[in-house]
Structure 1
Amino acid sequence: MENNFTMVAKTFFGFEEILAKELQQLGAQKVEPGIRMVSFLGDKGFMYKANVALRTALKILKPIHKFRAFNESSLYKGIQMLDWSEYLDANQTFVIDATVHSDHFSHSEFVAQKCKDAIVDQFRNKTGQRPSVDKIHPDLRINVHIGKDQCNVSLDTSGASLHHRGYRTATNIAPINEVLAAGMLLLSGWDGSSDFLDPMCGSGTILAEAAMIACHIPANINRREFAFEKWKDWDNELFETIVNGLLKKTREFHYSIIGYDKAPSVVMKAKDNLKNANLDDYVKVYERNFFDTQKETQGPLHMVFNPPYGERLDIHLERFYREVGDTLKTSYPNTNAWFITGNIEALKFVGLKPSRKIKLFNGSLEARFVKYEMYEGSRKAKFQP
């Protein structure tokens, strides 16, 4: 068994604790949340497992080197301290993603270029050949992060961001990021133990993530590839064992997961995406305007949705959010309703008091994820013995 090593899982602001919980449940060791990231220990098999199974991770990085960099020369020398032939052959391709928060360096592109020069020069001096840069589909993706004068070099185990699940081929005008959708569902307490409704489902992302959580289906089971599949130490047999082990933990789901959208073309997109994810047996999507509906199931209902903010969709915000509140109040008893909005001012039009309000970001837009508890009968009656 390969020895454990440190890894870093990147995530969105506000998801650090739920990502840490995911890692602990998967079996990670020394799990430590930070800001937009969680560090942990695991072996190569766990690296594969984390990429396939984690719902709220954007990337899994494997740190391999750190040093102090305070000018161009120290950066170049620090990168050359590594024997890059351990990770890369001269006939392969690579790319460097650099992020910089330092007084010594002002441009991430300059840092990436300098690191590239150091790697290429090392190969040329040793072999007379050099690997080339491929920004689209490299054999090795290298992450360089400079904070003040500390330079951390990591291998990107994931490749493209892990929100690229592989099931969504059709999108609407303002699709929600898959990792954001999964994180919202986990924050809301969704675990598959009741009926579920997304009344403004768009291209079906929240529905797909809800079904995968309910059935314990690994988040990235439909993904086409991970960066580690091109590494020198790639172990396909180990990977297959990990995937099969995760699939054995899937379970049946005995409630309903339903989506509404009022646009026929959007409903078709949602159905296509759910079929791509092999989830169409678990999820039903209907062409309906939420404001004309009422609760159709018995027992508790869990609702999570992403209403338009007025950023990219033209709506009358005050009227829209008032109708959201009115519909919940009059038509959805015994419902926990959660939604995210980037228009924080618009929440005052809902006319209901949220029982929870969580700060998140939808892209660069600061948002609030809010919960409204709709009781059966009056709230007062709810608390009478």
Structure 2
Amino acid sequence: MSAEIFPLAATTLSGFEEILADELRSFGARDVQIGRRAVTFQGDLGFIYKVNFRSRLALRVLKPIKSFVAINEVAYYARIRSFAWEKIIKPENTMAIRVALNSQTFRHSHFMAQKAKDAIVDRIREKTGDRPNVDTDKPDVPIHIYIERELVTISMDSSGDSLHMRGYRQITGQAPLNEVLAAGIVELSEWDPTTPFYDGMCGSGTLAIEAAIKGLKMPPGLFRKQGYAFEKWPDFDKALFDTIVESSLDRMSDLKLQIYASDDSSNVVAKAKKNIYNAELEDEIEVSHLNFFDLKPKGKRGTVVLNPPYGERMDKENIDELYQKLGDAFKQNWQGHTCFIFSGNLGALKKVGLRSPSKKELFNGSIECRLARFDVYEGSKKHRTDDPS
């Protein structure tokens, strides 16, 4: 008997939709469609487990259970209350509701979450005489609602805590990169794991760790201690989940990686080493207390990814000088390498002095950023040219 196939969705960060779609296809997803900060696809129960455990690029895996059009809050409440919630949520369960919206009709996500909670609680109380409680921290049943104009889609959130919460990062710096953001940057760099990877401003080490996870084909769920929401579903199949975990571990690579993380702050380096230790990647990532401008390549080819300061704590003259020096260092020391700068200072990026064939728009939290690529060819021109783009 074949497993039931149903529609699913995986959410991600803006700009990562296409690479998430590619990742899902590599897992065997069917009917993959790219949306706004999400990718929809078809899969079975085991596929939910697989994406949660193996995806480097998804934030949440959702199972849609109801869609409808609501022209106002009254209709919204009524349609949600009409659903048989008592079959999914028991009075002894806890629940939480997250609402994301892109709508002129409904503008306040917190209010819409409250209305949905009222509808669900009223339905369950009517049918059972009792009601579930809300637990926004560790709910038994997290519900996700997405409103696009007047189309409402309600989903079971199979992940629980966001999948960027890998579990290895216990110590962070002043402006840490989200783990999924770091994984997406590594993916967009098109780094070949048989070549060196350099993170010369490593901060808490997230870019280097996510590069190692990619290079080793390591499932990110390996570090996750808090588990997943689907483990509390009535139809949870532990034997199937255990099989998926084992098969994911069996496919890991034994490739010897060349990943180098460095920073000019000894305190920052200590934090990175602790996180790398937590991820059990000390043998894969070489960490050093070194200024990027003193860092030298280990070979003729490789990938450099930097996340320099955006300038919040530096004046404009100093930040422009820093980015200019980065461009000079690329030309002088990194010929033959592909270099990337991820930054939220779009003006300073123009001071690098090298043409950038691509600048991918991304966001670090609410900060609009660019992932700028610089191909540093052997015999690169020595003269500087401010990038007007």
**TM-score for the superposition, normalised by structure 2:** 0.93
User: CA 1:244–1:261 in structure 2 vs 1: closer, same or farther (change >3 Å)?
Assistant: same
Q: Evaluate the alpha carbon distance shift between residue 24 and residue 71 of structure 1 in structure 2; reply closer, same or farther with a 3 A threshold.
A: same
Q: Deviations over 1:88-108 (max 9, x none)?
A: 111111011123333443322
Q: CA deviation at 1:202?
A: 0.5
Distance 1:41 1:379, change over 3 A: farther
The answer to whether the Cα contact below 8 Å between 1:88 and 1:232 also exists between their aligned partners in 2 is no
CA contact (8 A) 2:197 2:260 kept: yes
Task: Check whether the contact 1:173–1:312 (CA below 8 A) recurs between aligned residues.
Answer: no
Are 1:170 and 1:269, in contact at CA under 8 Å, matched by a contact in 2?
A: yes
CA distance in 2, matches of 1:314, 1:184: 27
Please show how residues 8-27 of structure 1 align to structure 2 within 5 Å.
8-27=9-28
CA deviation after TM superposition for structure 1 residue 26, in Å: 0.6
Match for 1:275 among 277, 295, 313? 277
Match runs of 1:238-277 below 5 Å: 238-277=240-279
2:182 maps to 1:181: yes
- Residue in 2 aligned with 1:54? 55
The 4+ residue runs of structure 1 with deviation greater than 6 A are none
Q: CA deviation at 1:341?
A: 1.0
C-alpha separation between the residues in 2 aligned to 1:72 and 1:344?
41
Of the structure 1 ranges 55-64 and 309-318, higher mean CA displacement relative to structure 2 is found in 309-318
In 2, the alpha carbon distance for the partners of 1:171 and 1:200 equals 14
Question: Is 1:167 equivalent to 2:168 in the alignment?
Answer: yes
Q: Mapping of 1:223-234 within 5 angstroms? A: 223-224=224-225, 225-234=227-236
2:349 is matched with which residue? 347
- Aligned-pair CA distance for 1:114: 1.7
Distance 2:315 2:94 in 1: 45
- CA drift of 1:133 comes to 0.7
Query: Which AA in structure 1 matches 2:75?
Result: S
Conservation of the 8 A alpha-carbon contact between 1:60 and 1:158:
yes
Q: Deviation at 1:379?
A: 7.0
1:121-160 superposed matches below 5 A:
121-160=122-161
Alignment match, 2:71: 70
CA distance in 2, matches of 1:18, 1:106: 30
Distance 2:184 2:100 in 1: 25
Distance 1:199 1:6 in 2: 42
1:7 counterpart = 2:8: yes
Q: 1:308 to 1:72 in 2, by over 3 A?
A: same
Once residues 381 and 66 of structure 2 are traced to their aligned partners in structure 1, the CA distance between those partners, rounded to angstroms, is: 57
Give yes or no for contact 1:191–1:213 (8 Å, CA) kept in 2. Answer: no
CA shift for structure 1 position 57: 1.0
Equivalent residue for 2:325? Answer: 323
Q: Percent identity?
A: 45
The AA in structure 2 aligned to 1:302 is T
Paired AA for residue 6 in structure 1: P
Cα deviation per residue 1:181-209 (whole Å; 9 max; x = unaligned)?
11111111123120111000000000000
Superposition deviation, residue 314 in structure 1: 6.7
Describe the superposition over 1:210-252 as per-residue Cα deviations: whole angstroms up to 9, x where unpaired.
0010111012321121111121112221111101111111011
AA aligned to 1:180 is L
Deviation digits for residues 242-288 of structure 1, max 9, x if unmatched? 01111111011234111110111111110110111111110011000
Aligned counterpart, 1:88: 89
2:78 alignment partner AA: K
Structure-2 separation of matches of 1:305 and 1:134? 39
1:101 corresponding residue in structure 2: 102
Distance 1:277 1:314, change over 3 A: farther
CA deviations on 1:308-331 (whole Å, 9 max, x unpaired) are 111356782111011111111112
Provide the residue aligned with 2:192 in structure 1.
191
**CA distance in structure 2 between the aligned counterparts of 1:191 and 1:240, rounded to whole angstroms:** 31
Give the 3-state SS of the residue equivalent to 1:232 in structure 2: coil
The answer as to whether partners of 1:13 and 1:35 remain within 8 angstroms in 2 is yes
Judged with a 3 Å threshold, the aligned counterparts in structure 2 of structure 1 residues 197 and 122 are, in CA distance, closer, same or farther, namely: same
The 2-side partners of 1:277 and 1:340 are apart by: 23
Partners of 1:246 and 1:312 in 2: how far apart? 43
> 2:373 aligned with 1:368, yes or no?
no
3-state SS of paired residue (1:310): coil
Q: Which amino acid aligns with 1:17?
A: E
Number of the residue aligned with 2:288: 286
2 CA distance for matches of 1:234 and 1:8?
Answer: 19
Count of residues paired in the alignment:
379
User: CA separation in 2, counterparts of 1:314 and 1:235?
Assistant: 56
- Mapping for residues 182-221 of structure 1, pairs under 5 Å: 182-221=183-222
Q: Shift of the alpha carbon at 1:299? A: 3.1
Cα distance in 1, alignment partners of residues 246 and 365 from structure 2: 34
CA deviations over 1:27-58 (Å, ceiling 9, x no partner): 10000111211100000100010011111111
Q: Any residues of structure 2 matched to 1:293-308 within 5 Å, and which?
A: 293-295=295-297, 297-308=298-309
Moved more, 180-189 or 216-225: 216-225
Distance 1:12 1:83 in 2: 32
RMSD: 1.7
What is the one-letter code of the residue matched to 1:70?
Answer: I
Contact 1:174 1:312 in 2 (8 A): no
Distance across 2 between alignment mates of 1:314 and 1:267: 25
One-letter identity of the residue aligned with 1:318: D
Tell me how far apart the structure 2 counterparts of residues 195 and 68 of structure 1 sit (CA, whole Å).
51
- Return 5+ residue gaps in structure 1 as ranges: 381-385
